Amino acid sequence: MILFFITSFLLIVVSSENNAPIVQTPLGLIEGNIEKSSNGRNFYSFRGIPFAKPPVGKYRFEPSVPNKPWSGIWKANNSYVCLQYNHFNCPGRDKVEGEEDCLYLNVFTPILKKNANLDVVVYIHGGAFMFNSGNVQGPKKLMDKDVVQVNINYRLGPFGFLSTEDDLVPGNNGIKDQILAMKWVKDNIELFGGNSDSITIFGMSAGGASVELHYLIPESKGLFHKGVSQSGVSLNPWVIMENPLEQANKLGAAVGCSTKNTEKLVKCLKKRPGRQIVSAISHFQPWLYNPFSPFGVVVDSWSKNPLLRDHPYNLLKNKQVYDVPWISSFTSEEGLYPASEFYPEEYLQELDSKWNDIIPHILHYNFTINHNELDKISSQIKTYYLKDKKVSKTTYSKLVKLIGDRLFYFDIEKGVKLHSAAVKSDVFSYKFSHRGAYSASDFISGSRDNLGASHADDTAYIFHTFDTNSTPEDRAVSDFLMDTCTAFMKTGKPMSKIQWHPVSKNLADPLNVLHIENSNSIKMETLQDISNQQFWNLLPFAENEKLLAKENKDEL
């Protein structure tokens, strides 16, 4: 039996057979489930709501479009994963997983009333634009707060970020998927108890970079009101894809497609099995899973319908930034991704013996420097950080620092300052150095050694990814972060017992950060240089302002 209730102009349908919540939306009825939060609170979950037509067949590599209405009841109890090569899968489990039909989102809410007016957080997952899904960062922690949580999927790897550098496949389809999901949230979230005028987009790593990109993309304006970027900004070297057409041709050659012209290439790629295309990613990663982001975002200013109209550095410098509050954070050992993956001694020995061959791929500069200079630059980097020591467990912390400086800290520091100077709204930054009972590095390295606060660790204290409730100290840190972030979602100001100063609007000033070491040590700090800037500035990488200076010189 199905019972219909009209409450505050919201049609809620409840099945008397299983008490499953059913919500009426403009596209049709959606049935969810009832789950329990970390503290035993009932909440409503809707896993796998379609926000776009399936991007399959002739729609592969095409921009996503809104889904059509359906008849009957859509059972939102499935966890969809976009087709990907997931190097984190356990040994013996297929690294290729997921489906192309994957543009679904999950909604979790503690109150299912239209007038509940709860703040909304839209989580954009990380994974180097290559792997992961909206199912990983669970809702059990935040559902103890009065917040609606939405986790979204977007196409990954070649399916989301292939570009032929023309209007046949301009690229950035994964970002376009995110925007379409955000539009769905804006249009529908009130039906799930959310406030469409209080939406915070939140992401980690590639998700964090995506969040900041939405500040730079005009089509995203008005779809959110605050943002949080953990461990990723738009200037990080793995965000913007170098040589997109070269990558597309390489992919075509790997799966037996003609690369004579882009029309033939795309026509052929659309007919190849999806798993064959994903398996070909191994051709782009010569050592382990490095470089971890061979497909990424493109500056498509040449397109008839550009999305990212200029390089992020230019947009930030020219203050073409959506003016709403933003938080950017980093952990104390960001370089543990990807360094955790080669923590075993045999990988460290191989890295040491083949340093000049491997390190350009790990550090993402293989395509941003003259190949005649690669060996020289690689040796300079090793000498600066490791001196005359070998890569080993003894020098591992220095290796982690090296990787963290290059892949994260250098551009986070620069990008946060530029972003703050570009807007009137407050920009806040925090550093997370709490090492809890568990860490993301445990799962990647296969070791329980205390390596410090890893890339992705702070995310777990807000969203449920691994256990952060096993010790009183972890619970206290989690409570602080959740209280801080939910206050920010509501007011644009992070709640803290400590006065949290925003990042200065003056580029010359040091970086103001709230340093979270543990529940008893949370304090403001001013950091002048978190990434050995002088050293990295001397290296001739054609990136960000150096790339733009080179392009301007070439034009002259």
Residues with a catalytic annotation lie at: 205, 334, 455
Cβ-based burial of 50 (10 A; exposed 0-12, middle 13-18, buried ≥19): buried
> How far apart (Å, rounded) are the C-alpha atoms in residues 347 and 288?
9
- Measured in residues, the chain has a length of 556
Helices (H) and strands (E) in the chain, counts: 17, 18
DSSP characters for 42-96? EEEEEEEEE-S----GGGTTSPP-PPPP-SSEEE-B----BSEE-TTSPTTS-SE
Angle between helices 374-386 and 355-362 (to 10 degrees): 90
> How far apart (Å, rounded) are the C-alpha atoms in residues 196 and 504?
30
Q: Residue 2: count other Cβ atoms within 10 Å of its Cβ.
A: 12
Query: Measuring CA to CA, how many Å separate 304 from each of 62, 300, 307, 321?
Result: 15, 9, 10, 22
Q: Residue 551: count other Cβ atoms within 10 Å of its Cβ.
A: 11
- Cβ-contact 38, 140 below 8 angstroms: yes
Tokens, residue 534: 């002088």
Residue 26: which of 49, 59, 55 has the closest Cα? 49
Omega cis (within 30) before 344:
no
Q: In this structure, what are the phi and psi dihedrals at residue 164, rounded to the nearest 5 degrees? A: -100, 15
Query: Measuring CA to CA, how many Å separate 173 from each of 54, 227, 242, 523?
Result: 13, 21, 17, 41
> How far apart (Å, rounded) are the C-alpha atoms in residues 518 and 317?
35
> How far apart (Å, rounded) are the C-alpha atoms in residues 50 and 33?
16
CA atoms within 13 A on the CB side of 82: 29
What b/e string do you get for 416-455 counting C-beta neighbours within 10 Å, with b at 16 or more?
bbbbbbbbebbbbbbbbbbbbebbbbbbbbeeeeebbbbb
Q: Residue 552: count other Cβ atoms within 10 Å of its Cβ.
A: 9
> How far apart (Å, rounded) are the C-alpha atoms in residues 214 and 231?
16
Query: Which amino acid appears at position 145 of this protein?
Result: K
Instruction: Report helix, strand or coil for 488.
Output: helix
Q: What is the DSSP letter of 265?
A: H
